Amino acid sequence: MAGKKSRTGSKRAIRAKPTGLPSPAADSLENRLGRRFRDPELLRLALTHAGVAGGLESNERLEFLGDRVLGLVVAGMLYERFPDETEANLALRFVAAVRRETLTEIAEALHLERDLKLAREAAEARIRGRAGSLANACEALIGAIYLDGGLKAVKAFVVPRWQSHLDDAEPPPKDAKTALQEWAQARALPLPNYRETGRSGPAHAPRFEIEVAVKGYPPARGEGTSKRAAAQVAAANLLTTLDPGPRTCARREHDDSHE
């Protein structure tokens, strides 16, 4: 047992030594985060843009992980914060809470841009894609925190920074189908396609399952006590998997009648 622990410690030391962040940068960011990384290599990796080092040496894998971990924590926060809201409304709030603009705002508050490693030749792209790079780095950072300190550490980072976004949130949009349609139209894609994929329950209280698909993207499903409600949940679920952009979360100033 002791030998195994020693080998693990040696491996970590070897990983971190040649490629870790210079200590001033690491210390500065760790101070802003309010936590000290046990494995500084994770922090370095979270801040390495794919334009600098592709594949396994960039922050893309951590971004993938951080996106899922953030989703879990925010979903739990929404579940507790809005106990009387339906699944469809929670899904719409979720889309707004994890959208790119929110991630960028959190990243800016942490001044991640000063630590994010971008390719030198991408100066113009840096300006154009600044929000996307910061949002991705924020997700990668969350992934790094999860690997370094577990879910408890992620909650300590996410909850205080996202709580105000949930507390200040206005009522969610009433029509996820319209939001999804606008998303597709803004990208010159065909209209979303809905189809019934299942039905369960007794005749007096059926439960429907609807699948929605947008060309070029994996479909999503939703359930509800009516086809209309199930379609709304499906649309909201699909929105959570798409590039959220400002168009997908635009507030509706009127309640459209559902199809």
**Residues forming the active site:** 67, 139
- Smallest Cα–Cα separation from 35: which of 164, 157, 162, 150? 157
Q: How buried is residue 117: exposed, middle or buried, by Cβ count under 10 Å (0-12/13-18/19+)? A: middle
DSSP-assigned states of every residue in 238-251: HHHHS--HHHHTPP
Helix (H, G, I), strand (E, B) or coil at 70: helix
Q: What is the C-alpha to C-alpha distance for residues 141 and 217, in angstroms, rounded to an integer?
A: 26
Query: Tokens for 69?
Result: 């971990």
Amino acid at 121: E
Q: HSE-up of 127 (CA within 13 Å, CB side)?
A: 2
Q: What is the C-alpha to C-alpha distance for residues 133 and 113, in angstroms, rounded to an integer?
A: 9
